Amino acid sequence: MTPDRPETSRPRFPLPALAALAAALTALAFPALAAAAPTDWTKLRTLNIAHQGGEDEAPSNTMYAYDRALRLGSDMLETDINTSADGQLIVIHDGTVDRTTNGTGSVGDMTLDQLRQLDAGYWTVPGKGTDHSDRPASDYPFRGVATGDVKPPPGSKPSDFRMTTLPQVMEKYPHVPINIEIKGQADETDADYLHNAEVLAAFLNDLGRTKGIVVASFNDAALAHFHELAPQIDMAPATGGVAGYVLADTPPPEGSKVFQVPMTFSGIPVVTPEFVDKAHGDGYAVHPWTIDDEPTMKYLFGLGVDGIMSAQPMRLEKTMCNEDVSRPPVPGGSPGKHCTKKSSVACDVRGANGGFDFDGNGATVAVKRRDDFNSRCAGTVVLETKAGRRLAKGRFNFGWQPPSAGGPDRREVGLGQTTKLGRAIANGRPIRAVVQPYDAFVRRTVYSDYR
């Protein structure tokens, strides 16, 4: 169960309060958990789950976003599906195309060919997500890639920035775990959800893959209907199922294997140590959403959750690396690898030859960007003693694009004179310069003992 994310805010939960749901659930009798499916989600701890492929960092639900997230080290993709006018399973979060593309109108009123004419990266601001505010055109680097007006990032092609279908995603990543959320059309009626559940069930039944798939929705009826049609596929319970489990200790609907939940429902804490322990004791995995800040990520690692959904998979991967979080093997067929403290996929910044100078006004350190990955590449350069005592600090920012895509490859970082730095120089102490990107993985010594 994943959130409706507004254009520029944290997730919201646009459903009735839990207390009202719990009262309604007293009339329901949920069946017991079905027999074990091929995937034991409690044995995959801990998963980096790229929500919409990481919609804060790349165009939502596009092949470019999925490939980028996996290259970063993500273990699982989160997707959303709706149906087109010609019955195709379209990967899109909303019932309309207005928010994420340069078009307007309902997904259900357009054919696949019409949808593929749209630019799915039109409103994406890297690091911010979808943004319709009055920004300069330069803030939208993906705008026009889908139409061929702008050169695609290294390793990608224009079609990666157009709307895609679920069969395309499943064909490209047959062994990557995937979460599929059943959405509704623009009017979000029960009939919409039920129709989409039927189309999805028919596709997955024909596909024949059961391992590594979770189907979710906010609509309880849609999930129940989906389970009737495709009982072999694991599910995450919808609002009613979660509310019953949290408030009334009622088992979730048959077929449920994973709780995908926000930190709170209507102000009521959900992801607590007690909840995680209870879910694990009952055999369910826990995947909180949508977590984009490092303190909450670290808190959840401590609780032992099985996966975290994030709109910022790069930040999540860095935090998992720095915290030495236990990980499953990289999925088969994934183009990426998990980070280590000695390697970085993104924002690989090192020293530039002959790039350390000192004078009475401070120091200048030259750094060079060496990666080929579209991502924010900014951070700090710190002068410190061998014992790690900080002497001076400066900042660098290469922007989003790597040198191969037209971005700068070298920056001069100025570090102003400080009393500590002057004293260290006067006393002849060895000094090293250390670079630390904000959202990458490697703290790297770029110069040491410069004299």
2 occurs within a structural domain:
no
The CA-atom distances, in angstroms, between 220 and each of 25, 192, 237, 449 are 12, 13, 7, 64
- Mean pLDDT within 76-99: 98
Judge if 224 and 359 occupy the same domain: no
Judge if 393 and 258 occupy the same domain: no
Q: Which of 14, 16, 20 is nearest to 2 (CA)?
A: 14
Separation between Cα atoms, residue 299 and residue 319, nearest integer Å: 11
Separation between Cα atoms, residue 246 and residue 289, nearest integer Å: 16
Strand 390-397: give its sheet, edge to edge. 390-397, 378-385, 431-437, 444-448
Q: Kindly report the CATH number assigned to the domain that includes residue 420.
A: 2.60.40
Residue-wise pLDDT for 134-146, tens only, equals: 999 999 999 999 9
332 occurs within a structural domain:
no
11 occurs within a structural domain:
no
Judge if 279 and 400 occupy the same domain: no
Query: Would you place residue 450 in the very low, low, confident or very high pLDDT band (cuts 50, 70, 90)?
Result: low
- Choose one of 322, 338, 363: the last residue of a domain: 322
Concatenate the DSSP letters of all residues of 215-239 into one string: EEES-HHHHHHHHHH-TTSEE---H
Torsion of CA 92, 94, 98, 101, to 10 degrees: -20
Q: Kindly report the CATH number assigned to the domain that includes residue 85.
A: 3.20.20.190
Judge if 129 and 242 occupy the same domain: yes
Asked whether the beta carbons of 68 and 312 are under 8 A apart, the reply is no
Residue-wise pLDDT for 348-380, tens only, equals: 998 887 778 888 788 899 999 998 888 889 999
Domain count, the chain: 2
Residue-wise pLDDT for 7-45, tens only, equals: 333 333 333 444 444 444 433 333 333 333 479 999 999
Give the per-residue pLDDT at 20: 44
Judge if 292 and 365 occupy the same domain: no
Q: Which of 159, 178, 231 is nearest to 47 (CA)?
A: 178
Query: Which range, of 79-83, 232-236, 247-251, 335-339, averages the lowest pLDDT?
Result: 335-339
Domain that holds residue 369: 349-448
Judge if 262 and 359 occupy the same domain: no
Judge if 314 and 436 occupy the same domain: no
Quick one: tokens of 298? Answer: 């670290």
Judge if 68 and 208 occupy the same domain: yes
Separation between Cα atoms, residue 103 and residue 115, nearest integer Å: 9
- Choose one of 322, 338, 365: the last residue of a domain: 322
341 occurs within a structural domain:
no
Q: 272 — phi, psi (to 5°)?
A: -115, 165
Query: Does pLDDT of 97 surpass 70?
Result: yes
Indicate the angle between helix axes 313-322 and 294-303, nearest 10 degrees. Answer: 60
